């Protein structure tokens, strides 16, 4: 039996665009392509997609996934390792469930046990947080997943580039980024419009810096600029330099994309 790409997308929750990308990079080629140009997948392909999604859930990159799936390893052995990791995640979620359950019970018991300010007393506050990942880690995973879904090729390209950087490379890159943001903030403070050549020179430097990790077209570069303003964590980083800098950079990037990338 075979399923169309639309069927597989509906069953798996993976977009057709992502499935096509998986095919283009050799990670999940279709069983065949019909005369109508539609891609079709068989049972073996669905099993392979399941393994891809399992490894994605575990934070494995697409290149590593392909290497693992193409290696002459026993499929059952690979699945057992995935299963082990999933059980560990299940145990973490069970701990979270017990934490919330315990909190509910304690609040019900202590409704009458209040302090002088009328607040409920919690005997062991550390118990409130058992099983939680750090907030920073959680936010990072959410954002990374969003980028990976919207721009899978760019996400993989940038992930590989960052993975090849040494600690010294990362520190030097961070200094360069900060210096560039300060220069841009100075231009913003003078009232320089986004299309001013001096501002666009900074955007050229910014674009070339981005191209170290992935090469965006006009749409991708505009999308990156929009992310700077829409994502609270990114906006906060810009605001540390100067309030309004995220909006200013997004506007300057839009001008650059229109004039240089279209």
Q: Are strands 32-33 and 39-42 parallel, antiparallel or unpaired?
A: antiparallel
* pLDDT score for 132: 44
> In the structure encoding, which two tokens stand for residue 181, read together?
């943001």
Q: Yes or no: is domain 148-261 CATH 1.10.490.50?
A: yes
* pLDDT score for 107: 63
175, containing H or E segment: helix 167-189
Q: What is the DSSP letter of 190?
A: T
* CB-based burial, 78-97: b 16+ in 10 Å, e otherwise: beeebeeeeeeeeeeeeeee
Selection from 262, 258, 246, 161 nearest residue 209 by Cα: 161
- Cα separations (Å) of 122 from 19, 104, 116, 117, 261? 50, 12, 14, 14, 58
Selection from 200, 178, 186, 194 nearest residue 248 by Cα: 194
Whether the model clears a pTM of 0.85, i.e. scores above it, the answer is: no
> What residues of the chain score a pLDDT lower than 70?
58-60, 72-75, 77-79, 81-82, 85, 96, 103, 106-165
CATH class of 2-70: mainly alpha
């Amino acid at each position: 039996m075979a399923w169309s790409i639309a069927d597989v997308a509906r069953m798996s929750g993976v977009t057709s665009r992502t499935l096509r990308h998986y095919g283009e990079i050799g990670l999940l080629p279709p069983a065949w392509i019909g005369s109508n140009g539609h891609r079709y997948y068989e049972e073996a392909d669905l099993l392979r997609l399941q393994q891809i999604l399992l490894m994605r859930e575990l934070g494995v990159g697409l290149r590593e996934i392909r290497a693992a799936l193409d290696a002459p390893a026993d499929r059952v052995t690979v699945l057992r390792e995935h299963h082990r990791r999933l059980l560990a995640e299940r145990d973490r979620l069970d701990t979270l469930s017990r934490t919330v359950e315990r909190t509910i019970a304690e609040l019900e018991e202590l409704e009458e046990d209040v302090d002088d300010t009328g607040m409920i007393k919690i005997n062991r506050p550390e118990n409130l947080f058992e099983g939680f990942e750090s907030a920073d880690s959680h936010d990072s995973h959410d954002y990374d997943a969003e980028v990976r879904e919207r721009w899978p090729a760019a996400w993989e390209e940038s992930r590989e580039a960052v993975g090849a950087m040494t600690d010294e490379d990362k520190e030097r890159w961070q200094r360069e980024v900060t210096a560039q943001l300060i220069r841009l903030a100075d231009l913003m403070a003078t009232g320089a419009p986004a299309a001013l050549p001096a501002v666009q020179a900074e955007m050229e430097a910014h674009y070339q810096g981005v191209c170290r990790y992935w090469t965006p077209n006009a749409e991708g570069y505009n999308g990156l600029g929009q992310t700077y303003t829409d994502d609270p964590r990114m906006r906060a980083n810009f605001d540390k330099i100067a309030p309004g800098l995220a909006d200013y950079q997004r506007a300057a990037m839009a001008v650059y994309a229109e004039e240089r990338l279209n």
